Structure 1
Amino acid sequence: TIFKDGDEIILGLRGDIVSFNDKKGVFERGGLKGDMDKDEIVSGIVRIDDNLICITDTGIYRVKGKKTHRLYIGEGLSGSAIYDIECINGKTIIVTSGGVSSIEDGVIKDIHLSESPISPRCISFISDCLTIGSKSGLYIIKGGETGHIKLPKVNEILECEDTVFVATDCGLYILSSDFEILGKIDTTNGLKNNRVSCLKEHNDIIYIGTLGGGLSAIGKDGTLRALPEELSTIDTDYIFSLYSLGNYLLIGTWDRGLFIYDGERLENITWGSGLRHTDIWAIDSHYPLVFLSVRGCGVDIYDIESGAVVGYISSSDGLGSDYIRTIEVAGDTVYFGSAGGVAIYNLNDIISLLEVAY
């Protein structure tokens, strides 16, 4: 992985990090050699205040000046595989294979839950509460107190104005902003399949992706809406990811690649259009680039303006794994989360990779 830190460019390697001083034009060893195992792979680097946080496939190192401290599982880090990262109010929240951890002032602490979140997309901040989806419902954390709402396995959470929509394996639950259950939509009142995998608001309509029942739509008030005629022609019942980009609705499927709908026309991007696989697990973007997690291949990069796949990122470029579970674009920083940790890229570094490849 590559991280720009002031005048330095820090490269994450196997067994160490190396810094390149842009002004001096020289490489320097990074200080982790000897502290980490020689086979550990650095998959993510981020600066938090005076601390450089280096994430590997087995743990996290905190580097301050010339001092290095390793945070093992049990010393704050709740799991080795990192699924998702969210930043708010000076805290960095990390969803891991073992639960949830937070980084504050360079210190990692475990957020104790009775079970581990199992979906990288079921974490959200609602009404100043950290809301975490799990196999038994929602955990709601505020001011050091944790509450729990019992629901079927949660796959995604969407806040829309004063309403919270929760995608589960047993339908779509509708909650108030105070987390009171208002209603439910399932196969008894409109859905074709109860296994709701993803949600996205687009042009005042909330689109619902299911695994086995295709795509459905509701208004912000929770009433069912008819799908636009073009979307009714999508020839798969397995929708895994949804993303709204300006006037475009992007639909990632389990077996038919990517569909792009602009309000009038539906386009399918698949094998013949440059994708390396037809299973699209996650989508995020920094216009005009769209980052697509393609199963077992890493990330394909699609240019929405040119209508072409313009590049790829894989484990050989620093990803912790080619099975990317989540993508998060925050400003000019792009996070790719996988079972191998989180790889953190600066957007300019990605553009440089594209320029080298093409």
Structure 2
Amino acid sequence: MKNMSTDGLKPFFEPRSVAIIGASRIPGKGGYNIIENLLRLKYPGKIYPVNPRAEQILGLTVYPDITHIPETPELVLIILPPPQVLQAFQECIAIGVKAVIIESAGFGEMDEAGADIQERIVLLARQSGVRVMGPNSVGTLNPSANFDSSLGRLNETFLPRDDIQSGTVAFIGQTGLFTGVYLPLINREIGISIIACLGNKCDVDESDMLEYAGKDPRTKVIAMYLESIRNGRRFLELSRDIFKGKPIIVIKAAVTENGAGASVSHTGSIAGEDRVYDTAFRQAGIIRVSGFSQLWDIAKAFVHLPIPAGNRVGIINLSGSGCVTAVDACVRNGLNIAE
């Protein structure tokens, strides 16, 4: 299936209709939170909850299965136990769905049985042309479209605002933190163009999303958290083209033996040699950072300041030690100090 046009990724962020297979009547459950979030954000599209044991959720008509929905939804979210996901995915294919986010966990990151189901989903997706984000994804967010497919609950305690503010930074990665505990911070201090949680990357991967964000006119900065890179050559080629107009900031995690082991159980990723990533990123113009605090600081700098025309730096500081440490930091990072 690699690699389709990035036009096929638009429904993940701007769907005109969305179905939630595994919709729930229980507040706090993912299948409830998604519906509540969409209503709270005043999502303008059609919402189709699917649950054979419910008739209404938050005032919306609930359908027993996806085949009873009066139209083919542009995006389907699946939140079911892994053994039920395969059948739901097959039903999506049968009615012509083109984009699916599998938000259930328990697949390639869990055990052999889960990995087998994931491989069968991959095969079906390749045969049908359906684009799949996940499994083990927590969804997507696009403030400009008032669209949120993430599992987290946007209540007044967690995010005390009437809505999420549209911005210019795309947050992409194998983590739910962007739509989770870090969402209030990046919403308030940085601004969001899109957020995508890739999960296990059975289809849509970091290169697909890098290309999509590179073409997205609202996105000016790209911030990523990655535990692995599926196609290094494609990722680096895209980065070389994109970084000329949009800075790319990356946390590459799973850099130690223990971290790599944790990555396998987190998203089923196999980490590569860290020194190779370091060199390749530098050559491709990618800004590599070691943690989230650096990611926020650099993203904020690019949002609020113009991109420098060159690498010459002047330093003004009240403290001599401040000047010395600033000079050291500049030299270590290849910047030239003005004489």
TM-score range, shorter chain: under 0.3
- Structure 1-normalised TM-score? 0.25
Structure scoring higher RCO (CA < 8 A, sep ≥ 6) equals 2
Normalization by structure 2: what TM-score? Answer: 0.26
1 or 2, which has the higher strand percentage?
Answer: 1
